[in-house]
Amino acid sequence: MKQETIITQSGEKILLTISDDGYCFCPVCGSKAGNKEWRPYSKEGHPTYDICKCGFEFGLDDGGEPPYDKSWERYREKWLTKDLDYSQTKNMTRDQKLKQLKNIGI
């Protein structure tokens, strides 16, 4: 796996994990993107407002402002404890979610 850095307008770095075959992983839950072009933020650092399988909407749930990693952590904890049961992942067990998080080194 490799990492890709996006710099926001305010100069903050967003570090994304990319699979060996070129797909980005969600920085919140570690799910693999459906296409190689998908990124949660544009190359200019603007949120895409895309919604991940875990339910996180980039640009809305992170407030569209850095530091993004804090909003990711807060959302991730709720996702892991099932405080947020988004339809596409609500049937995942905690162990399945923890295994998926290994995609992003968590």
Domain ranges of the chain: 1-106
Task: Kindly give, in sequence order, each residue whose CB lies less than 8 Å from that of residue 30, ignoring residues fewer than 6 positions away.
Answer: 17, 100, 101, 102, 103, 104, 106
Report the amino acid identity of residue 79: W
Mean of the per-residue pLDDT values of the chain: 90
Spacing of C-alpha 102 from chain mean position: 13
10: confidence class by pLDDT, cuts 50, 70, 90: confident
Structure tokens at 75: 């959302």
Backbone angles phi, psi at 24, to 5 degrees: -80, 145
pLDDT of residue 102: 97
* 2: CB partners within 8 A, 6+ apart: 17, 18, 20
Percent of the chain with pLDDT over 70: 97
Mean pLDDT of 86-91: 77
Query: What is the average per-residue pLDDT within 24-42?
Result: 96
pTM of the predicted protein model: 0.91
